[in-house]
Amino acid sequence: MFDLRRLIVVVANRRFVFALAAIAILAAKLIHISSHISALTTREVKKWGFSFFTQDVLLLVIIRFLLDSALFPPRGPRFVRLGASTIAYSFIAFTTTLSIINICFFVVSGSEIHWRNVGVAGGAAGRALVLSGLLSSIVVMGILTLLSWAFQNILFVVVGLATDAITCFVAFVTRGRLCDVQLQSANDDYLRLPQSDMESAAKPKKRARPSWTHFVLYIVVISAILIQIIQSFIRPHDRSLTFMSWTPALLPFIDLKNSAPNLETVIPHYKTGINHEWDSLTPLRQPIPLPWLPEEPIDGFEDWYKNELHYDASADPLRISNLEEPLRPELGDLKDVPIRHIMTIVLESTRKDVFPIRESGASVERLKNSWDDKKLPDAALKRLKSLTPVAKFLTGDYDDDFERPAGEEQKKRGGMSFNDAYTTSTFTLKSLTGALCGIMPMVADFNLEYLHHVYQPCLPHIWGALNTLEHEDDGSHDFEGYKWASTFMQSVTLDWDHFGSLMEKLGFSSDGGLIDKEYLIKDTAKFGKVDLKNINYFGFEETPLEDYIRDEFEKAKKDDGRVFITHVTSTTHHPFGMPANETYVPLGKGLDDLSHYINAVGYDDRWLGRILDTIDDLGVANETLLVFMGDHGLSIPENDILPTYYNPHIINNHVPLVFSHPKLPAITIDDAVSTQQILPTILDLLIETGSVSGAAANATRDLLHNYEGQSLLRRTRNVYSGPETNDKEVSNWQFTNINPGRAMLGLRDARQKTWRMVVPVVDNQEWQFFDTARPDVEAVVAFEFSEYQKKIEESYGEDEARWVEEAAFVARWALDENSRRWRYGPYEP
């Protein structure tokens, strides 16, 4: 008969427990080192790499001591043994569990876990997000269990030599003689004890004086540990070396401790750029005069009523205006472009090179190379060729590099398509905030914006303000004085990370202005309860929203209104599931995530086609501006990392950006731009097309001149020098807040748009620099700025080294100013 106690003794013995702890700790440490190894030179790794494991070795020695049966003599008081064993096993469980979590998180996400962010797992959607990695975690645990079972003897014995050696060494130092030790053996009679007597398993073996062989082994082990300890003391006090040395059990505490601002320690070397000259500058002033505001306070304009300081663009030394520039000549006469309605469509996780998909893009290249003959199967090629026809129609870009029949029709809807647009953040909620409000998102982890001061009115706030004005009937369009209605729609939850609260903060009313999964599954939903299955851990596909989009336009037609809809797609979010009635085509061999992602891109392209058909059917296409933007990209083809979390890869910044209208000419623009420029461009379009009344045009013009971003209707200005900057030349800097928001900031300079820098906001992240025009030169990564600058000068040249110094001080000022504007951190009331 099977004996459960026998199983417990054989499997859950001290050796197995120690092997599991040892393998988990060492695997987690290797992940920690590999995640940051690019910050070190090969010479540093060779010279000091042995010392990186000092803490881990000492931790394993401590755990091995705690598992020594001699530590809990059976003849002692039972409560003492119980208390000691409880403390010992709790410590072992704690260190082992932390290491296993580190491993599982890395396997699922491709990056290290950052413990200060674990609170985001709260709530149903957050828990579903965590559970999405359950299968991978089970596989990890299975592998760790098998390895622990296979290596339990050798690991127990080897580290046991270290504990014996230390015991002997301590005995020799304190008593002047070698101790009697329990000799380590792979045939420890622990496993040969009667299995029915679990208490006897704790009995110590007869001690014996070590042989010369053991003595030599002890000398080797002690020497190795001493060398590690000595190396740890004599190596340079470099943050990169120190950071590599932390054992996984301490990383949660280090992550919390080392989250202090990092840029205060930067010292200028070339003394070019702004250095510390802007330290006392801020564009926060008394609010600019807006005499047209109503007497009663309205949302988004609180500073005008409370006499609070507000952003003043004329006092911003970093802001460059292009409103004095003429319109782009390719646009022609905009007076014939009526804009009654506006719909902003945010494309979830959509990188630029899949909108439309290109055969020469990184995604298709990766798929092709996964097959044995480096060619796509016919079914895969057919799917890719027909994947994104709507994206081609919207962008006017038919140069997808696929073979096409001669004379194939190439319809273009009309509008401006931007080839070099960067998002304001690689975290969706922050990306939305940057685009809808024309501001720099808050440099804080995840969504704290909903709790703080949104320092500029957002588009729904502006529409609300225009609704309060008296309008004259003297315009060229009869809708100029109609009132706006703002609605936010998505088919996934708004409960995750206070998403719904943020949308309310940005001006969407909770009374009918927010439609999400929770609303759609209610019995009281306007078009009936939706019973679809979830395709990801946030919700279902977008199609139930079609009725609500149609309804908004029909209400506007009936009530003489204007529609502003913001819609975020959902199918292209991990795990890239599609409805059951959709056909999935495998596109890559062994590239399941990438293949599902590309299929999901095709599904969303078809969904965009349904939106276009809807507004065509309603007869409003010719008076509706559609703005398409990606919230962020995904770097799966480049580095196999699924999320943008702590993933500063440049492809995550590069997103589609299209302003589409049938009466605009189809033009493509290669300027370096940012999604922060969407709001001022919309305001500029409304003015230039005569789509707002005289009073509204004046109000819109007042607001337009007070936003940071340039209008995309006009030629981009890349440099400026004037009295605000002490006549120093200031560049058109563009910032990208990297998910989750507080640790890293990406920035580029429109003068040198191929140069890209990642600034570590906190001191446990690395500086990074890369020139996309020189892919043959490796990215420069370093923890210390002085070392970073030196490496750049060696790898790229002095111009680039000077530029990163200028960029570092611009980022330093912008980060402090960001907290000031958001009234966050030291500036919180």
| Tens-digit pLDDT profile for residues 594-630 | 999 999 999 999 999 999 999 999 999 999 999 999 9
Strand ranges (E), 479-607: 483-489, 514-515, 561-568
| Tens-digit pLDDT profile for residues 101-110 | 888 888 877 7
Distance CA 416, CA 660 (A): 6
Q: Which residues of 305-344 are buried (b: 16+ CB within 10 A; e: fewer)?
A: eeeebbbbbeebbbbbbbeeeeebeebeebeebbbbbbbb
HSE-up of 455 (CA within 13 Å, CB side)? 25
| Tens-digit pLDDT profile for residues 453-464 | 999 999 999 999
Which of 179, 310, 63 lies closest to 820, judged by CA? 310
Q: In the predicted model, is pLDDT for residue 126 greater than 60?
A: no
Higher pLDDT, 693 or 220: 693
Would you place residue 724 in the very low, low, confident or very high pLDDT band (cuts 50, 70, 90)? low
Distance CA 421, CA 650 (A): 12
Mean pLDDT, rounded, for 286-308? 96
Positive or negative CA dihedral for 668, 674, 680, 683? positive
Contacts of 752 (CB under 8 A, 6+ apart): 803
Distance CA 364, CA 231 (A): 47
Per-residue confidence (pLDDT) for residue 188, from 0 to 100: 47
The region of weakest confidence among 77-91, 273-287, 480-494 is 77-91
Per-residue confidence (pLDDT) for residue 202, from 0 to 100: 42
Question: Is 754 buried (19+), middle (13-18) or exposed (0-12) by CB count in 10 A?
Answer: middle
| Tens-digit pLDDT profile for residues 636-645 | 999 999 889 9
Per-residue confidence (pLDDT) for residue 365, from 0 to 100: 95
Per-residue confidence (pLDDT) for residue 129, from 0 to 100: 59
Report the largest interatomic distance among the alpha carbons of the chain, rounded to a whole angstrom. Answer: 106
The two three-digit tokens of residue 571, written as one number? 């199918």
| Tens-digit pLDDT profile for residues 37-67 | 877 878 888 888 888 899 999 999 988 888 8
Higher pLDDT, 83 or 252: 252
Per-residue confidence (pLDDT) for residue 288, from 0 to 100: 97
DSSP string, 742-772: SSEEEEEETTEEEEEEEEESBTTS-EEEEET
The pTM score is 0.89
Mean of all residue pLDDT scores within the chain: 88
Strand ranges (E), 678-743: 719-720, 730-731, 733-737
- Nearest-5° Cα angle at 93, 88 to 95: 100
User: How many of the other CB atoms lie within 10 Å of CB of 200?
Assistant: 12
219, 213 contact by CB (below 8 A): no
Distance CA 524, CA 599 (A): 33
Positive or negative CA dihedral for 287, 423, 537, 603? positive
Per-residue confidence (pLDDT) for residue 493, from 0 to 100: 94
Per-residue confidence (pLDDT) for residue 111, from 0 to 100: 77
107, 99 contact by CB (below 8 A): no
Strand 483-489 and strand 514-515: pairing? parallel
| Tens-digit pLDDT profile for residues 210-264 | 567 767 777 888 888 888 889 888 888 777 788 888 898 888 887 776 555 678 8
Per-residue confidence (pLDDT) for residue 160, from 0 to 100: 85
307, 282 contact by CB (below 8 A): no
Identify the H or E element spanning 89: helix 78-109
Query: Rounded to whole angstroms, what are the CA distances from 170 to 50, 62, 88, 176?
Result: 24, 15, 22, 9
Q: In the predicted model, is pLDDT for residue 413 greater than 70?
A: yes
Per-residue confidence (pLDDT) for residue 776, from 0 to 100: 87
Which of 357, 409, 411 lies closest to 384, judged by CA? 357
Would you place residue 201 in the very low, low, confident or very high pLDDT band (cuts 50, 70, 90)? very low
Distance CA 684, CA 207 (A): 87
- Helices (H) and strands (E) in the chain — how many of each? 25, 17
Q: In the predicted model, is pLDDT for residue 707 greater than 60?
A: yes
Higher pLDDT, 190 or 410: 410
Mean pLDDT, rounded, for 475-492? 91
Query: Rounded to whole angstroms, what are the CA distances from 263 to 73, 725, 794, 809?
Result: 54, 21, 23, 8
Work out the percent of the chain whose per-residue pLDDT is above 70: 88
Q: In the predicted model, is pLDDT for residue 185 greater than 80?
A: no
Work out the percent of the chain whose per-residue pLDDT is above 90: 61
Q: In the predicted model, is pLDDT for residue 75 greater than 90?
A: no
The region of weakest confidence among 137-146, 181-190, 542-551 is 181-190
Report residue 549 CA to chain centroid gap. 30
Per-residue confidence (pLDDT) for residue 720, from 0 to 100: 84
Per-residue confidence (pLDDT) for residue 74, from 0 to 100: 61
What letter would DSSP give residue 366? H
Which of 354, 362, 365 lies closest to 638, judged by CA? 362
Identify the H or E element spanning 275: none
Q: In the predicted model, is pLDDT for residue 495 greater than 60?
A: yes
| Tens-digit pLDDT profile for residues 797-808 | 999 999 999 999
- Nearest-5° Cα angle at 233, 227 to 238: 120
Q: In the predicted model, is pLDDT for residue 557 greater than 70?
A: yes
| Tens-digit pLDDT profile for residues 345-381 | 999 999 999 999 999 999 999 999 999 999 999 999 9
Q: In the predicted model, is pLDDT for residue 193 greater than 50?
A: no
4, 208 contact by CB (below 8 A): no
User: How many of the other CB atoms lie within 10 Å of CB of 465?
Assistant: 24
Positive or negative CA dihedral for 304, 732, 567, 341? positive
| Tens-digit pLDDT profile for residues 332-352 | 989 999 999 999 999 999 999
